[in-house]
Amino acid sequence: MDIKQGLFVKHACPPVWAISCSSSHCVNTFFVTVNGGGGGGGGVVVVVEVVIVVVVVVVVEVVIVVVVVVVVEVVVVVVVVVVVVVVEVVVVVVVVEEVVVVVVVVVVVVVVVVVVVVVVVVVEVIVVVK
C-alpha cells in the first residue's frame, strides 16, 4: 500500500467512509496510507482525527440549536408575562365587576399561552430543519 497523490491510495475503501472508489484506488478522507519502510508492502493505515472534527461540529450545531431555542423561549415567555400583566391592569381599570374581570383575564391568558406554544413550536421546527 503506497501513497499516491495525497489521499489517492491503493486501499480497500470502507463503504460508509469512502468518497469515491474504483478497483485501482480509493479517495478516502478518513485514512492516509503511510509506507511501511523498506519499499515493501504492508503499509500502516493512520486514522486521521476526522471523527473528532465531526463530533465537535455536531456538538456545536446542537449547542447552537439549543441556545437559539432557549433564547427564543425566554424572550417569548418574557413578552407573554409583560402582555398579560398589562392586559390585566387595563382590564381591572376598565371593568369593575369581578366576574367579567376574571373571565376576560382567563380568556386573555389562554389565548396568549396558545399563541406562545404555537410560536415556540414553529420556531423550534424552523431551527431544527435549518
Rounded distance between C-alpha atoms, residue 36 and residue 40, angstroms: 7
For residues 42 and 58, membership in a common domain is answered with no
For residues 13 and 34, membership in a common domain is answered with yes
For residues 74 and 106, membership in a common domain is answered with yes
pLDDT tens-place string over residues 96-128: 555 566 667 777 777 877 888 788 778 777 776
For residues 123 and 60, membership in a common domain is answered with yes
pLDDT tens-place string over residues 46-72: 444 566 767 777 788 878 877 777 777
For residues 28 and 57, membership in a common domain is answered with no
Return the C-alpha cell found at 60: 456545536
For residues 103 and 67, membership in a common domain is answered with yes
For residues 58 and 38, membership in a common domain is answered with no
pLDDT above 60: residue 43: no
For residues 81 and 37, membership in a common domain is answered with no
Q: Which residues are paired to 34 by β-bridges?
A: 44
For residues 64 and 85, membership in a common domain is answered with yes
Rounded distance between C-alpha atoms, residue 2 and residue 46, angstroms: 13
- For residue 17, what are the domain limits? 3-48
Q: How many domains does the chain have?
A: 2
